Amino acid sequence: MFFNVNKKEHISLRNLWDTTKAYLRGITIAYNTRKKKEREKENNKLQNDIIKLERQAQLTPKNEQIINKWKLAKHKLNILEQEINLRALKFIKQNYFENANKP
């Protein structure tokens, strides 16, 4: 769709390519921002659920259903945090590789 709107005869290919890169960069930034907000929202929801379930478990410690929900929420939060850490580790490795002293 981008090319249908912007490809005109009087526009050079270099300008078209540069505008395409800028357009795709904007789409990528918007996508990453949306995904980050979704992850943060999920993280906050899980933390609030864990706190709420811990309080309920303290009031009724023999209720297995509450304890199982608490364990499941802790597990989901752990998985989410592992994904965040893996992403950060990948970024660090890439940064060190790109900025390392090379012969």
Q: CB neighbours (10 Å) of residue 68?
A: 11
Q: What angle do the packed helices 13-59 and 64-99 form, to 10 degrees?
A: 150
Please check whether residue 37 is in contact with residue 82, taking contact to mean a CB–CB distance below 8 angstroms: no
Residue 103 reports pLDDT greater than 70: no
Distance between CA atoms of 32 and 18, rounded to whole angstroms? Answer: 21
Residue 4 reports pLDDT greater than 80: no
Each residue of 5-27: pLDDT tens digit?
A: 777 778 888 888 898 899 999 99
Portion of the chain with pLDDT greater than 90, in percent = 70
Tell me the pLDDT of the chain averaged across its residues: 91
Each residue of 65-76: pLDDT tens digit?
A: 999 999 999 999
Q: Where are the domains of the chain?
A: 11-100
Residues 6+ apart with CB under 8 A from 16: 3, 6, 7
